[in-house]
């Protein structure tokens, strides 16, 4: 592969030297060396990187970083600049996406069964290796996602984690076309998941404390909205919880019909309170959603084009990363924050 790489030098990145409250601005802009390109890897220029609650949890230490300092960011849209030894199928200028799953062993039982998201040796972008809060980054070529050249990178970026994990959560919940689905919490991922569920003909009920989010859910087609503890107008066949709070899981379980499933879409959750066994009895289930596979990403992105799914990106300069994450934390972000490096 011919390289478009010019001079190897430095770049700007938002680094996390150590976790801390986002109010203390733990992410620092720094001039750092451009990442070294290894075998099987691609070097990208970053066009856009959407922010995610997981980025906030890593920044604040709810999820401990696996390397320090680390460059967070795992919803990346960029252009290929160069490839390392052994890479085929990519050309300079190709548009590519980089998502949460950065690599897996490819040999364990989980990987052989198509469940690489559960691989014990899996690595993750912006956690195990530097991510997209930077001008450039590297990624394993086998885990990069081809994207259309003519698509808007700012609109694409929110699909690469919130969209894919929301899609996997729907699948884990077992929801079927035409059934009643509950969504608990209505942030960026839920706003994408509702569009998939409605395309399947589901009747969607949304629970959230925010009146603004309730209004947004109704605008997107929710049949009912209310608070977390407001009684649902009908029993749910399945539910997905997006809010990182254990008591919300219990609210969803209480609204579930016999045989239904609550899928918990969270990498970090506080303690789930004790609950009456009757709420779980009659073959109700609780399932966690752990990461996603490359197959999930391909399926969802194909579906996103078909529906088509719309995103509501809110652009921020990379230098405003702490402000963007603070807005995510306090609920004042009207859509999905997307960082623009240049």
Mind listing the domains of the chain with CATH numbers?
A: 10-160+312-340 (3.90.180.10), 163-288 (3.40.50.720)
Secondary structure (DSSP) of 36-95: PP-TTEEEEEEEEEE--HHHHHHHHTSS--SSSSB-----EEEEEEEE-TT--S--TT-E
pLDDT of amino acid 9: 86
- Whether 145 and 160 have beta carbons less than 8 Å apart is answered as yes
Instruction: Round to whole Å and give the CA distance between 208 and 228.
Output: 6
Instruction: Round to whole Å and give the CA distance between 64 and 19.
Output: 8
Specify the 3-state DSSP secondary structure of 166. Answer: helix
pLDDT of amino acid 332: 87
User: Which residue from 158, 200, 202 is spatially nearest to 180, judged by alpha carbons?
Assistant: 202
Instruction: Round to whole Å and give the CA distance between 80 and 57.
Output: 29
pLDDT of amino acid 23: 98
pLDDT of amino acid 320: 98
In the structure encoding, which two tokens stand for residue 39, read together? 């075998």
Secondary structure (DSSP) of 182-219: EEE--SHHHHHHHHHHHHTT-EEEEE-S-HHHHHHHHH
pLDDT of amino acid 255: 97
User: How far, in whole angstroms, is CA 277 from its chain's centroid?
Assistant: 32
pLDDT of amino acid 71: 98
In the structure encoding, which two tokens stand for residue 141, read together? 């070529």
In the structure encoding, which two tokens stand for residue 117, read together? 């998201």
Q: What is the mean pLDDT of each run of 10 residues along the chain (342 residues)?
A: 56 97 98 96 98 96 93 98 96 96 98 97 97 98 95 96 96 98 96 98 97 96 97 97 95 98 92 94 97 96 95 96 96 91 87
pLDDT of amino acid 274: 94
In the structure encoding, which two tokens stand for residue 60, read together? 């604040």
pLDDT of amino acid 8: 60
User: Which residue from 122, 98, 240 is spatially nearest to 171, judged by alpha carbons?
Assistant: 240
- Whether 27 and 58 have beta carbons less than 8 Å apart is answered as no
Q: In sequence order, what E strands does the chain have?
A: 10-15, 28-33, 41-50, 76-83, 95-98, 101-103, 123-124, 136-140, 145-146, 180-184, 203-207, 224-226, 236-241, 256-264, 285-288, 313-317, 336-340
pLDDT tens digit sequence for 3-26: 444 446 899 999 999 999 999 999
- Chain length of the chain: 342
Measured in Å, how far apart are the chain's first and last C-alpha atoms? 27
């Amino acid at each position: 592969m011919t390289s478009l790489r010019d001079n190897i030098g430095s770049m700007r990145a938002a680094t996390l030297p150590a976790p801390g409250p986002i109010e203390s601005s733990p992410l620092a802009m720094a001039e750092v060396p451009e990442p070294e390109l290894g075998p099987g890897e691609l070097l990208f220029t970053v066009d856009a990187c959407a922010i995610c609650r997981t980025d906030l949890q890593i920044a604040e230490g709810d999820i401990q970083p696996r390397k320090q300092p680390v460059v967070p960011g795992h919803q990346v849209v960029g252009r290929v600049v160069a490839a390392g030894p052994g890479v085929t199928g990519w050309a300079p200028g190709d548009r590519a996406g980089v998502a949460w799953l950065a690599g897996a062993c490819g040999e364990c039982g989980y990987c052989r069964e198509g469940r690489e998201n559960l691989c014990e040796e899996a690595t993750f972008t912006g956690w195990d290796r530097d991510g997209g809060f930077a001008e450039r980054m590297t990624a394993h070529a086998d885990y990069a996602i081809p994207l259309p050249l003519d698509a808007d990178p700012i609109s694409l970026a929110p699909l690469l984690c919130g969209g894919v994990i929301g899609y996997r959560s729907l699948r884990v919940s077992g929801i079927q076309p035409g059934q009643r689905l509950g969504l608990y919490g209505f942030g960026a991922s839920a706003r994408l998941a509702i569009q998939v569920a409605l395309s399947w003909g589901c009747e969607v009920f949304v629970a959230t404390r925010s009146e603004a989010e309730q209004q947004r859910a109704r605008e997107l087609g929710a049949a009912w909205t209310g608070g977390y503890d407001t009684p649902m107008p009908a029993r749910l066949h399945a539910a997905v919880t997006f809010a990182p709070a254990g008591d919300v899981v219990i609210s969803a379980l209480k609204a579930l019909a016999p045989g239904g499933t609550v899928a918990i879409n969270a990498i970090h959750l506080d303690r789930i309170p004790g609950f009456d066994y009757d709420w779980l009895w009659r073959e109700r289930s609780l399932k966690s959603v752990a990461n996603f596979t490359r197959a999930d990403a391909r399926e969802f992105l194909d579906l996103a084009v078909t529906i088509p799914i719309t995103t509501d990106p809110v652009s921020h300069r990379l230098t405003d990363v702490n402000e963007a994450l603070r807005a995510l934390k306090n609920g004042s972000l009207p859509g999905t924050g997307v960082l623009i490096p240049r």
